Amino acid sequence: MVMISQTLLSAVRLSHTGSFTRLCILKLPCIRGLVALVLGTLLLTGCNTYTRETGLEEVTSVNIDPRNPGEVKIGGMVFVAGFNLEYGARFFGGLSGLLIAEDGNSMVAITDHGDWVDASLSHDAQGRLTGVSNISIHSLIGLEGENIDTILEPNERDAEAVTVMPDGRVMVAFERRHRVWVYDSLSTRDNPLELDLPENIVRLPGNGGIETLEFLPDGRLLMIAEEPVGGGTIIDAWILEDDLKWRWIGYLMNDGFNVVDATALPDGRVMVLERWFAAPASLRIRVRELTPEMLDGGGPLDGTPITLLKQNLVIDNFEGIDHRIGPNGEIYLYMVSDDNFDDLFQATYLYQFLLLP
């Protein structure tokens, strides 16, 4: 671990006491190396500790285009593999933010019900996803040490984004009551801290709050809301800079797509996952690319479309994205869908794509 800055400022607080602690800016040559350690620790220490219910898991292979089974090129990506995840626990579903271990052996997602879900993953020698197993579900812990999936009001437990900090801690963002909690580990009962957010965070729509938390390779934190305020075209977005001050940068809403997650690549590019929906059941999923130059500029961010998934394909309400580097240096993107706890008309999919050069 490399310490680039020794600046200490009050950026994380214990919100229920009003007292402050201090967060050190840690810079790493590569944040991704911590993800395998963090997810491995979660699987080893938390797998059975907080599982409220057990259930029968059923994992089935999915082709994104049944007319053309197997790998399919879609814009700047190639669909590699997909799985439909079913698990008999009562509150399984509603998956949003996603973490994929660097070694590809595990995943973690957080849910709209205040839980976190982990599972084991398997890949072949070429890095292609071949299976999902050992699914389990656990409650997130609140500021007073409570299980938030059962104690807090529904509007208090809607977790939407998750990321690993440069020092290995885990951040989880919630909407409705907009906040970000910082955990030493998801698999322990240690109370989280609360991150100080920009003052204008309160203007975000209740169901359109923070959907994206992602650390850039240089250690700065990117945070993006889901939708614009008041029907505008600029979505609120901020970067927590080296001095621990939030810089508003904005994100240009394009063609009516909302932001649902993002993943930062080692070269500084950020792949943003977007969703377009029109009642009763029209859905599109898009990935846009942000460059380091855009992130360092004055904004608003206006990324380049990489791929568009339409309803002629087998898609659902994808709300989580992450990446890992394959054995030959290729970049694999993973997406997970939020089924809104609707077993009849929606599904929980985990898809893997190859990002083309």
41, 128, 254, 314 from 287: Cα distances, Å:
30, 20, 12, 16
Give the torsion sign (CA, 98, 102, 107, 110): negative
CATH 2.120.10 fits 30-355, yes or no: yes
pLDDT, averaged across the chain: 86
| Poorest-pLDDT segment among 30-44, 179-193, 240-254 | 30-44
Quick one: pLDDT band at residue 189, thresholds 50, 70, 90? confident
Is the model more confident about 353 or about 47? 353
Edge-to-edge strand list for the sheet holding 95-100: 95-100, 106-111, 115-123, 129-139
| Poorest-pLDDT segment among 19-28, 160-169, 175-184, 331-340 | 19-28
| Poorest-pLDDT segment among 11-25, 215-229, 250-264 | 11-25
Identify whether 266 is preceded by a cis peptide bond (ω within 30 of 0).
Answer: no
Find the helix or strand (DSSP H, E) in which 40 lies. Answer: helix 32-46
Under 8 Å CB-to-CB from 153, ≥6 apart: which residues?
Answer: none
- The tens digit of pLDDT for each residue in 107-121 reads 999 999 999 999 999
Backbone φ and ψ for 282, nearest 5 degrees, come out as -95, 125
| Poorest-pLDDT segment among 1-5, 86-90, 115-119 | 1-5
DSSP letters, 206-243, are TTS-EEEEEE-TTS-EEEEESS-STT-SEE-EEEE-TT
Closest CA to 102 of 169, 30, 41, 32: 32
Closest CA to 179 of 208, 210, 207, 154: 210
Percentage of the chain lying above the pLDDT 90 cut: 74
Quick one: pLDDT band at residue 28, thresholds 50, 70, 90? very low
| Poorest-pLDDT segment among 82-91, 130-139, 172-181, 262-271 | 82-91
Single pTM value for the model: 0.87
Q: Let me know how long the chain is.
A: 357
- pLDDT confidence of residue 172: 98
CA distance 10 to 124: 45
CA distance 124 to 308: 27
Q: Cα angle vertex 345, ends 341, 346, to 5°?
A: 55
Find the helix or strand (DSSP H, E) in which 43 lies. Answer: helix 32-46
- Token pair in block for residue 63: 């082709």
Long-range contacts of 268-272 (CB under 8 A, 24+ apart): 268/216, 268/217, 268/218, 268/292, 268/295, 270/214, 270/216, 270/222, 270/295, 270/303, 271/306, 271/321, 271/323, 271/333, 271/355, 272/212, 272/224, 272/303
CA distance 266 to 32: 8
